[in-house]
Structure 1
Amino acid sequence: MLRRLYDWTMSLAARKSAEVWLAIIAFVESSIFLVPADVLFLPMALARPQKAWRYALIATVASVLGGIAGWYLGHYAYEALAKPILAFYGKLEAFEQLKNSVGYETLVLLLVTSGLAHLPPIKVVTILSGAANINLGVFIVSAIIARGARFYLIAWLLRRYGEGIRHFIEKRLGLLAGIVAAVLIVIFVGYRLFI
């Protein structure tokens, strides 16, 4: 099923309505969808490199708006809607443990790392942020920085290196973003220990 979903998402890049689909997928990825917007963003930006910045903007704005929807889902509809969604993905138990064990600063850090590297998945963190009452303004600023950094970095790489960088992005961008996320976590832990 996941492979069919991936293939369907990839097929959207060739359509005239690709920008609309990019916005829709970036939006729903941030709250409920399984496939990341990168799957559509990459082929679109490779097919039309002159529009890579535009696609990054569309993906960032839609992703942040989807994150806000996830925040509202967690804040106002956790019991009725968020719990069943998390249960569907098999993430409810992990979510409950995370919700009970993280503080405000840790949630902001998770928001940044999930926006950059999908660690943990962005949909989990957006719902968690709402359920844990993270300030919506802080949430939005963090989401803009993290998601914008991810999409604009990919756009820059694709414009600079073209098709040659695609394999690297598809195979190693997650690892690279994970390393950046790990560095942020180490800085955060060091800050908490020494300040």
Structure 2
Amino acid sequence: MNGWDSSRPVFETDVRGTHIYTAWEGHRRFGYDLMRYLKPGKMVELGTYYGTSHFAFCQAVKDHGLDTECYAVDTWEGDKHSGTYEESFFESVKSCSETFYPGISHLLRMTFDEALNEFPDQSIDLLHIDGLHTYEAVKHDFESWLPKLAVNGIVLLHDVTVIKDDFGVYRLWAELRQLYPAVQFDHCFGLGIVAPKGYSTATASMLAQWGTIKPLYP
């Protein structure tokens, strides 16, 4: 791909009536384009809920014939911020995974800490963190998974603009963006993109354009 362009993909889970609105809705097109632009070998998501972000990533892999392995890690039990999940949430995600993205989508129903043993160090090219949103929890997630991130890997953090109650992603994000190359989208509760282990030529080119492409989303 020469330069960044904004696509308008068809998300199959929408067409089949299995999609519901979540806070990640406005980032789906960006997530889709990020996948087709960077072509990561392995993508891991911590916190999947109803699959809005996970299936956006999977759709890009399917549409563009990428070799990316997409993993979704979640207990699908909920937490104090998201509330308790009904079992139907997981069943819906599982059905979509098997129906639309076989061989692409891999669901790991376990805690984030338990899933650490599933991935070798420096094996993940794109990591999306969207679990419990207290400062302590998201800091733990970032630090415990950082060894798993590959050289030139990218980390996405959701809810970086939410300042209320005991939400603390914004606090960690303020620290990270002082240390590493980073870009922030403010809409839909904020999405932070950070490169804590350097970045490739492709990512460098993308970073240079992000000031221009940001208005394309949502």
Please, what TM-score do these two structures have when normalized by structure 1?
0.32
Looking at secondary structure, tell me which structure has more strand per residue.
2
Looking at secondary structure, tell me which structure has more helix per residue.
1
Indicate the structure whose relative CO is greater, using CA pairs within 8 Å and at least 6 residues apart: 1
Please, what TM-score do these two structures have when normalized by structure 2?
0.30
